[in-house]
Copies of this chain bind each other. A is one copy, B any other.
């Protein structure tokens, strides 16, 4: 069955995101900030406790080192720097989770690192290398495209499992990439998003910006809990999943 994943633990020091608790009841997988775009050790400790209480799967959410930019600015970082950076972020989540008897289960890059990984073959290879050179093999969550052959090939070569995710509330282009947020219609309305979630869940398909139906086969849907509207949508998507599960 399709899983739901969300980004969590994105507070920092004095600045507290308050929505973590609310979305926990609806999701299966928590992508937890590792301190590079958000998340300090205390926040991380608290987020792991939340993950544990709700029995959600724990993912590390590594980023470029850019607290001020929230990891959303692309940085060109050579592999010999990027790989240890990713290791460091995996290690901090892994070790602190273990203190609460919680196991790290997967890794999903954040923000600009995620985008660069999906756009640039070299960055994807660097990220997969980081996964392969870590002391334990964790699955890597990436974006489900119309065609992920390249990603499957690289990951398979390094013996890394992939988890594919799709987006309920973002408009797709013909290749399965998302329309840029700079376009006014990049983000779907609630009604459209719910319809897209249903189509993804029931058929493994989306309707693109050109009105074509393409296949997007995903293991997980990325959802948000940062507003009452967002939360309501997550609960509605959860209902679709439960009906389907019957």
Interface residues of A (CB under 8 A from B): 10, 12-15, 35, 38, 40-42, 44-45, 65-70, 72-77, 80-81, 84-85, 87-88, 90-96, 98-99, 101, 112, 133-135
Work out how many copies of this chain go into the complex: 4
Residues of B within 8 A of A10 (CB): 14
Considering the chains assembled together, what is the distance between the CA atoms of A44 and B45 in angstroms?
23
Residues of B within 8 A of A15 (CB): 12, 15
Residues of B within 8 A of A101 (CB): 135
Q: Are B91 and A69 in contact (CB under 8 A)?
A: no
If A42-B80, A91-B98 are given as contacts, then 11 extra A-B residue pairs at C-beta distance below 8 Å, sorted by A number, are A14-B69, A14-B72, A41-B84, A44-B84, A45-B84, A67-B67, A90-B95, A91-B93, A92-B92, A99-B135, A101-B135
Question: A81 to nearest B CB, angstroms?
Answer: 5
Contact among B76, B80, B92, B112 with A73 in the assembled complex (CB-CB below 8 Å): B76
Residue of B nearest to A77 (CB): B73
Q: Are A95 and B87 in contact (CB under 8 A)?
A: yes
Residues of B within 8 A of A73 (CB): 75-77
Residues of B within 8 A of A90 (CB): 95
Q: Are A135 and B95 in contact (CB under 8 A)?
A: yes
Question: A111 to nearest B CB, angstroms?
Answer: 10
Residues of B within 8 A of A77 (CB): 69, 73
Contact among B40, B69, B70 with A68 in the assembled complex (CB-CB below 8 Å): B40
Question: A7 to nearest B CB, angstroms?
Answer: 12
Residues of B within 8 A of A85 (CB): 41-42
Q: Are A13 and B67 in contact (CB under 8 A)?
A: yes
Contact among B35, B76, B88, B96 with A96 in the assembled complex (CB-CB below 8 Å): B88
Q: Are A41 and B75 in contact (CB under 8 A)?
A: no
Question: A66 to nearest B CB, angstroms?
Answer: 8
Given contacts A40-B68, A76-B74, contact A45 B12 (CB under 8 A): no
